[in-house]
Structure formats: structure tokens, C-alpha cells
A = this chain, B = another copy of it.
């Protein structure tokens, strides 16, 4: 069965032709041109859909679109996507259906990462799991009994905004002390710099004193790799906070398989080992059994694959 997956970003629209068992058959990218306004962007997405359709040697079952912004429970309408000037609220699915004649559905990136992983990645092994995406921000998706758990209005799994310290630092949200404030790329870097600047003897200080804003989690990983104990310590602290957040997810959901993906997750065991150790200490005893953190290696393909799975999931296929 063939579907089309679209990843609508502020800069580029990525597209893919997806086969339900073979995965991504063909991918491409065009510019979004968000500055030209909403109607133009919708035309660009319709164009991307037609580009993918042209590569298909059979009927297209439907189209899934990963989009920023708030998505309605019925997976049609996108409200207030950041970095899309003039876009308040739009029934994107209906508009695209009119333009392409194909059945279209919309969801957010982290949900689609979870769905893609569930059907093509590490998530295939589990009926239920929690996907945590560690990137610029921290996002999440919940797969429960092989379907996305969407909550009452479609907004479940805002996992980056689960609080681990009520008086903790700010992130991009009113949720002070949320896990994103510790692990979101920019916030993690800022917290790390606050420590590094106390240690002018450290190589990290010397490297970034002139431009602390250039510090990224990957630099901590590189330094940890060559034995910089401060770098290891800073990554460990972030990992411990992640462990606290995992305890919260698990005590609410009783889903004990955690999949992680996204740029920061490439810090691997520097973050995931302390996360695991902290969670194993803090989880109620029966919840430790079967608890596991797994790295999802599909990378960004997971979101495109997940978008392609969305029309199937919607029909319980």
C-alpha cells in the first residue's frame, strides 16, 4: 500500500513516498517560502504531494502531514504554527484534499516520530512505548496498544513540559522547571555555560569564552570523549533530570519502554545511563521491572515514515 508523508517545516517541506512494508521509496525537499503567507505555503505542500504522487506506480491511499502548531483532535486543522506569518487557523487537511483529491491528515512531529518508530523502527518490538525527542525542544509521543494516545483533545504527550523541579529554570514556555529547560538544546547549553564559566582552566572555557552562545551539547560530548570530567559531569546532571521526567511519565502511564531520538540523544550513554540509574532509583519497585531506554536510530526519517503511516492509522490499518 502506498502513501505520501510530508514534513512541513519553517524552511523546507520534505516529502516521501511511503510503502507500508518497504518504507521510504523516494524522498525530496522543496523550500517552504513561509514568508509569502499561508495560501502560498498550502500551494507548496500541494505541489510536494503531487511530486510524490508522480513517483508512485500505484494508487495513493492517503497523505499524512507533520506540522508545527496546535493540531485539532480530528487531525485536520492547524492553529498558530510558529514562524508561519499570517497563519492563525486553517483546515489544512480539507484544503489539501480539495487541491489534490487525496485523503489528508495532519499531526505533530513528535507524534509522527512515535508512529514511524512503531511501524518501521525500534518501536516495532513494543505494543506500547513512550517516544521522547531530544532536539531544539523536547517533545513526545505515546504509542498505546499500537495506536497514538492523543488524550481528550489531541494534545497528549507534551513531555518536554513535564516539571521535574517546581523552582527550576525557564524554557520557552510558562512551565518553569520542565525537562525541556534542562535538555532542550539551547537551555542545556546555557546551563552548562553557567558552570563552565566558573572554571576558566577548563578547555571548554577556553574554547567558548569569546562566544558562549556557540556552545552546543555536541561540544560537551566531544570533550567528554577525550576525558574532560566537567563535560561528563554536566551531561550526567542533564541525564539525571531526564530520569526524573521518565519516572513521571511511567507513574502516570505505566508504559515502561522509552524510546529516545533527536540530536541531543546522540550524547548516548553520557545522558542515558544516568537517566536510567536515576529512574531505577526513583521508580516504585514494581515499575522497574521491564523498564528500558532504547535509542531510536531512524533519525528524521521516522517523522516522514510516521506521516506516511497516518492515513493508515486513521483507518485502523
How far, in Å, is A33 (CB) from chain B's closest CB?
27
Query: Given the known A-B contacts A176-B282, A247-B175, are A252 and B162 also in contact in the complex, defined by CB atoms under 8 Å?
Result: yes
Contact, CB under 8 Å: A156 / B284: no
Least CB separation from A73: chain B residue: B254
Most buried by B among A251, A283, A285: A251
How far, in Å, is A176 (CB) from chain B's closest CB?
7
Most buried by B among A142, A158, A159, A240: A158
Chain A, range 142-189, C-beta contacts under 8 Å to B:
142, 144, 150-159, 161-167, 173-176
Query: Given the known A-B contacts A153-B254, A248-B248, A252-B248, are A70 and B282 also in contact in the complex, defined by CB atoms under 8 Å?
Result: no
Among candidates B144, B158, B241, residue contacting A287 with C-beta atoms closer than 8 Å: B158
Is A255 an interface position by the 8 A CB rule? yes
Query: Given the known A-B contacts A152-B127, A166-B244, A247-B175, are A161 and B256 also in contact in the complex, defined by CB atoms under 8 Å?
Result: no
| Residues of A in contact, count (CB < 8 Å) | 46
Residues of B within 8 A of A1 (CB): none
Is A208 an interface position by the 8 A CB rule? no
A251 to B175, CA, bound (A): 10
Is A128 an interface position by the 8 A CB rule? yes
Is A286 an interface position by the 8 A CB rule? yes
Contact, CB under 8 Å: B287 / A253: no
Contact, CB under 8 Å: A281 / B166: no
Among candidates B162, B240, B253, residue contacting A251 with C-beta atoms closer than 8 Å: B162
Interface residues in chain A, defined as those with a beta carbon under 8 Å from any beta carbon in chain B:
70, 127-128, 142, 144, 150-159, 161-167, 173-176, 240-241, 244, 247-249, 251-256, 281-287, 290
Known A-B contacts: A163-B248, A165-B165. Give 18 more (CB < 8 A): A127-B152, A142-B252, A151-B253, A151-B255, A155-B254, A155-B287, A156-B253, A157-B254, A159-B252, A161-B284, A166-B240, A166-B241, A174-B282, A174-B285, A175-B247, A175-B283, A175-B284, A176-B282
